[in-house]
Structure 1
Amino acid sequence: MNVSLWRNRDFMVLWSGRTLSEVGDAVSLLVIPLLAVTVLDASAVEVGVLSATRMVAYLFLSLPAGVWVDRMRKRRVMVVCHLARAGLVATVAVGAWTGWVTMIHLWIVALLSSVCTVLYETAHQSFLPAVVPGGQLLDANGKLATTYSVSRIAGYSAGGVVASALGVARTAGVDALAYLVNAVSLLFIRRSEQPPVGTRRPDFRRELAAGLSFVFRHPIMPRLVAASASLNLFSQMIFALAVLYLVRDLHLSEQTVGAVMALTTLGGITGGLLSARLARLVGTARIIWIAPLGLGWTVMLVPAAQPGWGPVAYTVGMAGMGALFAIYNAAAVSYRQGACPPELLGRMTASVRWVIFGVMPVGALAGGLLGSWLGVRPTLWIAAAGVWASGLWLYFSPLRWERDLPDGSPERDTPTPPAPEPARREQVPIDMAGKATGGGRRA
């Protein structure tokens, strides 16, 4: 019987450290765009480019990152990435304090930070199954999703208050300390991960192809990837224009912008707390397509917002999208982690993230360009409709006819003894997904 996650010391250390870094990250995500808009007078295109450079590494680094991470100790990768990000954010704080920060400086820091983010997130998702038993991955991912939202509330609220009191230039350095604390906390995890699988002659292309082959020959994952990519593409169009929209269209102050962005994360908290329970109630397969189609319509309130009552509509719409992402991601990520053999986790994660996160800088840049061409509000209407329609990828898929997804914990936690079947019966599984997962788990 699995011990409760609340009594899993290593998970609690991992969880608390990530919470601290997420708080600092939220401060940075608020303050740096505010710095660009209010101090450097950035245009919609410049803000879009800033948002895009923060994620552009997913396009060119995600795939090789999976191979590299599978060859290395995941915790070591995470520690190094946090230390590097702390140094990069510190340069923004120093530049803002001395008054020589520029948009080019912000773009460079965002680009280098995105490299660290890709490596860190790939390692983190691959490291979690070493700390949490397979049967508790859904619960663990739900708690991490809740942490993300709670951290956004704390970070946006603190960032807005401090920026209003001291100015955005003096607020930019909080993130660096949070990264340092998270890096140190990782060293207190006792559970040792499995050593990387060694090969006599590492073949980079073959290892890379193994991850891609697993994902795109799987009967469910291609549709799951398409839905996630659509959600990320259209949501990034909204996020890229969020601060610009709140300041220039809804005429909100810096402190109010921080408060509104903090309140929008309540949806993510609710979704994260309820994700495991809703999945059990509705079905772990059904919840993946019900979440975007059932909650995606609330995002339409964002472009409908007007000065005066607009902050309320914006908050409700973005909270709905936060709940959508928390519920959807907890189920989708848990399914991917459970369906994949441990030795392929890094490459599977990288292959999926190459697509679903690779579209994010495209969405951010598209939001900035369309915002300048069509206007911010029409662009937000297009993006909101796209968020809702993303669920159709899964509605019109084999997942629609399944209630629950298979639980991979038995195979992951304890090796299954060979069944006493004739040799010819071992030839029955014919799809690559079944073979890759040991022939026992099928999507």
Structure 2
Amino acid sequence: MTSAAAAAPLWRHRPFVLLCGEQTASSLGRQITTLALALLAVTGLGAGPFGAAALLGLTYLPGAVLSPLAGVLVDRVRLRALLVTVTAAQALVVGSVPLAYAAGHLARPHLYAVAGVSGALTFTLSVALQAALPRVVAPDRLLGANSALTAARTSGQIGGPALGGVLVGLVGPAPALLAGSAAYAVEALFVLALPATLNVRIPAGVRAPLDALRSGLAVVRSHPQLRRMILSGAGLNLGSGAAAALYVFYATEELSLPAWQLGTTYAAYSAATIAGALLAGRFARTAGLWRATQVCGVAAGATVFLIPAASVGTGFALLLAYQVAYGLTGTVWMVSMTTTQQLVTPEDLQGRVAGLVQSVLLATVPVGALVGGALAACLGSVPVLLGAASIALLSAATLWSPTRTGDQVTRNPLGTVPEGVSPCARADHDAD
């Protein structure tokens, strides 16, 4: 990266602007796809609470299992070529659903297969992009860059659910997936325009994949702050994953919300995420990344209780309140954690560390989704949602547990590398 590029505002830095465009297109496609697949399973193919939960579980399970291997792959291959391949494949996979529907051959196994493959591609892309960002911006700009990318991603999320709800209402859930496939195709064009300097291979001295994974694990084990974020986040995802798996079924079948109201609640989450992205940098610099993570983690866990509360109150209003509160607090938590992870990781290990972290965070989502769906089929949605909210809150609260001797966490505001951690090794690539 040139000195001129490092000094220029982020919005004038071409590779970063392309990443923002990619995030907007990706989120638009993902939101349309997620909503349309869920509604197609529930209203078109007769899936019950466990079937809806299984669909979400299959979306996350490949990420939980394959993310560490994706991290090794990201550190070894040409990064831009990988990004183009993954995004193009995503467009084809999602586009297969409306084609099968038009041919009269769409069945539930096809839908589950699309959810699983699409999930694997999505989380491979996520690992690759986390590794790409430190190659595009300097370490002292990562907090602002992560906040800006979150805002860009959320701009697509605002329109995605509402557009998905309107399309489902007009043409049905299966044809609506054509719009999701088109958004992924646009995403592929953005990553194709990224500079060739992203295609930097890992040094030749790196050994077998298992040894490569161990080197990434060593980074996670050596940083107490990162370890605690990961473990509490895994528990938070266990509870919120169960709630998310039941969300569409609960809102449509038990609260009788129409598709446009369901889509609006997702859009409210996206709007709150933009607010969180705008606040994340200021809050983290003022309070420190660790304090921002503690406060927002507990707040995010507490908001999950608004979902079961919707059964005894004004359902639409309470679900809107949940999405706004969770979007705001969860975004600050995510930006703080991602920035910490990137700062403490050497550049040639970014993919492996991102893959390991993502794997741990995702592993509990399908577990929560499948267990929550199975229990809801027997006990009903509301008791399971209350239990899920309790798990999410208690897990987040562990961030406030006493620190063990020799396990101190850093509280310095970002813009600098936390104490006790060597600055990331950075190659002087021309990102323009």
User: TM-score surpassing 0.5?
Assistant: yes
Find the counterpart in structure 1 of residue 72 from structure 2. 67
Identify which range, 307-316 or 193-202, moves more after superposition. 193-202
Q: How does 1:254-333 map to 2 (within 5 A)?
A: 254-306=259-311, 309-333=314-338
Find the counterpart in structure 1 of residue 84 from structure 2. 79
Offset at residue 200 of structure 1 (A): 5.0
Conserved 8 A contact 1:163-1:254: yes
Long gaps (5+) in structure 2: 1-5, 426-432
Q: How does 1:121-200 map to 2 (within 5 A)?
A: 121-190=126-195, 192-193=197-198, 195-199=200-204
Residue 359 of structure 2 is aligned with which of 354, 368, 390? 354
Aligned AA for 1:166?
V
Offset at residue 311 of structure 1 (A): 0.7
Conserved 8 A contact 1:302-1:318: no
Aligned AA for 1:233?
L
Find the counterpart in structure 2 of residue 419 from structure 1. none
Q: Partners of 2:276 and 2:206 in 1: how far apart?
A: 45
- Note the alpha carbon deviations across 1:361-390, whole angstroms, 9 max, x for none: 112112211211221111111112222223
Identify which range, 80-89 or 222-231, moves more after superposition. 222-231
Q: Partners of 1:168 and 1:404 in 2: how far apart?
A: 48
Conserved 8 A contact 1:250-1:308: no
Greater than 3 Å deviation, 4+ residue runs: 397-403, 405-409, 433-438
Find the counterpart in structure 2 of residue 97 from structure 1. 102
Conserved 8 A contact 1:286-1:402: no
Identify which range, 391-400 or 117-126, moves more after superposition. 391-400
Find the counterpart in structure 1 of residue 238 from structure 2. 233
| Shift in alpha-carbon separation, 1:168–1:154, aligned structure 2, 3 A | same
Conserved 8 A contact 2:286-2:413: no
Tell whether 2:344 aligns with 1:339. Answer: yes
SS at match of 1:315: helix
Residue 15 of structure 1 is aligned with which of 20, 35, 38? 20
Conserved 8 A contact 2:132-2:198: yes
Find the counterpart in structure 2 of residue 421 from structure 1. none
Q: Partners of 2:397 and 2:196 in 1: how far apart?
A: 41
Offset at residue 159 of structure 1 (A): 0.8
Aligned AA for 1:403?
R
| Shift in alpha-carbon separation, 1:163–1:437, aligned structure 2, 3 A | closer
Identify which range, 202-211 or 327-336, moves more after superposition. 202-211
| TM-score between both structures, scaled by the size of structure 2 | 0.91
- Note the alpha carbon deviations across 1:89-111, whole angstroms, 9 max, x for none: 01111122333211100111111
Find the counterpart in structure 1 of residue 3 from structure 2. none
Conserved 8 A contact 2:344-2:422: no
Find the counterpart in structure 2 of residue 56 from structure 1. 61
- Note the alpha carbon deviations across 1:128-157, whole angstroms, 9 max, x for none: 111121111111111222233332220110
Conserved 8 A contact 2:80-2:199: no
Residue 219 of structure 2 is aligned with which of 208, 214, 218? 214
| Shift in alpha-carbon separation, 1:37–1:188, aligned structure 2, 3 A | same
Long gaps (5+) in structure 1: 412-428, 439-443
Conserved 8 A contact 1:52-1:362: yes
Conserved 8 A contact 2:57-2:370: yes
Identify which range, 260-269 or 270-279, moves more after superposition. 260-269
| TM-score between both structures, scaled by the size of structure 1 | 0.88
Q: Partners of 2:384 and 2:74 in 1: how far apart?
A: 38
Find the counterpart in structure 2 of residue 420 from structure 1. none
Conserved 8 A contact 1:28-1:175: yes
Aligned AA for 1:11?
F
Find the counterpart in structure 2 of residue 27 from structure 1. 32
Residue 404 of structure 1 is aligned with which of 408, 412, 421? 412
| Shift in alpha-carbon separation, 1:193–1:298, aligned structure 2, 3 A | same
| Shift in alpha-carbon separation, 1:65–1:33, aligned structure 2, 3 A | same
Q: What root-mean-square deviation, in Å, do the aligned CA atoms of Structure 1 and Structure 2 show?
A: 2.3
Identify which range, 193-202 or 256-265, moves more after superposition. 193-202
The number of residue pairs the alignment matches comes to: 417
Aligned AA for 1:404?
N
Return the index of the structure with the highest Cα Rg: 1
Q: Percent identity?
A: 30
Offset at residue 80 of structure 1 (A): 0.5
| Shift in alpha-carbon separation, 1:111–1:319, aligned structure 2, 3 A | same
Offset at residue 194 of structure 1 (A): 6.5
Offset at residue 402 of structure 1 (A): 4.5
Find the counterpart in structure 2 of residue 422 from structure 1. none
Conserved 8 A contact 1:301-1:317: yes
Q: Partners of 1:437 and 1:170 in 2: how far apart?
A: 46
Q: Partners of 2:212 and 2:357 in 1: how far apart?
A: 15
Q: Partners of 1:174 and 1:38 in 2: how far apart?
A: 19
| Shift in alpha-carbon separation, 1:243–1:201, aligned structure 2, 3 A | closer
SS at match of 1:195: coil
Identify which range, 13-22 or 393-402, moves more after superposition. 393-402
Identify which range, 187-196 or 148-157, moves more after superposition. 187-196
Find the counterpart in structure 1 of residue 429 from structure 2. none
Aligned AA for 1:82?
T
Find the counterpart in structure 2 of residue 416 from structure 1. none
Conserved 8 A contact 1:56-1:111: yes
| Shift in alpha-carbon separation, 1:261–1:407, aligned structure 2, 3 A | closer
- Note the alpha carbon deviations across 1:39-79, whole angstroms, 9 max, x for none: 11101111111111111112321222111110112221111
Q: Partners of 1:80 and 1:330 in 2: how far apart?
A: 27
Q: Partners of 2:409 and 2:97 in 1: how far apart?
A: 50
